[in-house]
Amino acid sequence: MEIKKIKDNVYSVEKEGKMNVPVRIFASEKILNKIKKDNSIQQAKNVACMPGIYKQSIMMCDAHQGYGFPVGGVAAFDTKNGCISPGGVGFDINCGVRLMTSDLTKDVVEPKIKELINELFDHVPCGVGKESRIRLDDDEFDFVLNGGLKWALKNDYANEDDLEKCEENGCMATADHTKVSPRARKRGRRQLGTLGAGNHFLEVQYVDEIYDSEIAEKFGIRNKNQIVIMIHSGSRGLGHQVCSDYLRKIENDLPEIFNNLPEKDLAYAPTGTELANDYLGAMSAAANYGWCNRQIISYETRKAFARVFEGEKLNLMYDVAHNIAKVENYEIDGEMREVYVHRKGATRAFGPGHKEIPKIYRDVGQPIILPGSMGTASYVLVGTDKAMNETFSSTPHGAGRLMSRHEAMKKFEGESVRKQLEKQKIYIKAASIRGISEEAPEVYKDVDEIVRVSDEVGIGKKVARLRPLGVIKG
């Protein structure tokens, strides 16, 4: 396969065979060489063959092999003559990140970091099988699925400002709880407000560098050493089961599509079919659950901060999904088109003026939160008009894995990773010490390089760099 350099940090695989559009890869040469090592480019070529795809099948700088779609993949399909794909969203529907800002500074928090992290660990359930303390009856659970953060607001887990600063205001109107199976409900029932395990985390960080002080100020990031809190989690078992359910429905109801796919996880429902509408309803409900999940974790985080730092209040900067499909409008070949943008491991990055950006940020652009790996930096970026034209308003979602979990387990030992982090003054508390080895900083790509590429290409401009002080993990 020929990979052509278009310009710095942009590569292309031209149309061939059944591809409807070319593949575009946004990466530096160094990262491209890493991307080439797995099957992700072939997966992006498979996506390019799907019906109703516009312009290009996109791979972000943090792309790696997924199942069906590559992780770090973006594709837009026509809402009338295209498709919607559970595999294009991924199993963890509305996996995403939020950032909260505080008025505290590093010198105040650092001496108390162990107390704070232990307090957070005691109140935010994390790890395999750790249950939520919240029990809801059927009607309340339907409200979570249909109303998202509206449910959280009504039940005092959220304030008005939280809703204003969340993607979709924390509620996708397309949600339909009746399209979520009893199995999915049952999996999600005892997990609302739990962090999960794997790469999900809650991190207490400090502002290490500010690149654009005007925009940073808008986002509530005022000074170096200011303390912020990052939460990375998703829709837990409920979302995983929704994806699985609809993959199987496509297998059973649309065999003529399913049996002819290059990879079965690429399963899609053509737009206009009942299955496409049902999946959109169920996926949106799972997304709403995901926002409530991160909101309840925030609620516990706020209480923990208020206990340790005498009434300290935390403000939501922004909450953004990185596994989701959204209805959006773009000018394509001179015409406005409505599309389903699938972001599987990619962050929405609307430029200034977009009506879906919270009012107070609208003149500068949408905040983007890009988490690094454990022990490395995370970033705040801002969306751009260029992203609108080049990547359907998308930018990378994180560092992107480099090494398999199995390999990481053989190479790193949990306890020594913990000690190494402690030497860097990062205090970690994990439900499973063995799980830490799989998330060692070395198993991820270099997040600094990924952010540099986004900034240089112009699909997400650097605003601030954050570094961890303390982490809780599953």
Partner 1 sequence: MKFEYLSHTADAKFRAFGKDIDEAFVNSALAMFNILGDTTDVKITKKIKIELKEKNYESLLYSFLEELLFLLETENLFLSNINNLKINKDFSLNCIVEGDDLQKYDLKGDIKAVTYSDMEIKKTNKGYEIVVVVDI
Query: Where on the chain is the footprint of partner 1 (CB under 8 A)?
Result: 38, 64-68, 71, 90-92, 127-129, 183, 186-187, 189, 191, 196-198, 200, 237, 240-241, 243-244, 247-248, 251, 263-265, 401-407, 431-435, 438, 474
Q: How far is CA 260 from CA 17, 257, 340, in A?
A: 15, 6, 22
Closer residue to partner 1, CB minimum distance, 340 or 444? 444
Closer residue to partner 1, CB minimum distance, 146 or 241? 241
User: What is the 8-class DSSP label of residue 231?
Assistant: E
Closer residue to partner 1, CB minimum distance, 80 or 135? 135
| Distance in angstroms (rounded) separating the CA atoms of residues 148 and 167 | 11
Tell me the three state secondary structure of residue 236.
helix
As measured in angstroms, the least distance from the Cβ of 190 to partner 1 is 8
| Distance in angstroms (rounded) separating the CA atoms of residues 171 and 92 | 17
Closer residue to partner 1, CB minimum distance, 177 or 187? 187
Q: How far is CA 284 from CA 170, 238, 353, 459, in A?
A: 10, 12, 25, 26
As measured in angstroms, the least distance from the Cβ of 129 to partner 1 is 4
As measured in angstroms, the least distance from the Cβ of 448 to partner 1 is 20
Q: Are 289 and 151 a contacting pair, CB within 8 Å?
A: no
Residue 11, beta-bridge partner list:
5, 25
Task: Take residue 347 and report the two structure tokens written for it.
Answer: 């962050």
Burial 338-375 (b: 16+ CB within 10 A, else e): ebbbbbbbbbbbbbeebeebbeebbebbbbbbbbbbbb
Closer residue to partner 1, CB minimum distance, 123 or 386? 123
Burial 85-104 (b: 16+ CB within 10 A, else e): bbbbbbbbbbbbbbbbbbeb
Residue 33 CB neighbour total at 10 angstroms: 10
Q: Which residues are catalytic?
A: 397
Q: Are 83 and 271 a contacting pair, CB within 8 Å?
A: yes
As measured in angstroms, the least distance from the Cβ of 185 to partner 1 is 10
Residue 34, beta-bridge partner list:
none
As measured in angstroms, the least distance from the Cβ of 252 to partner 1 is 8
Closer residue to partner 1, CB minimum distance, 38 or 449? 38
As measured in angstroms, the least distance from the Cβ of 84 to partner 1 is 18
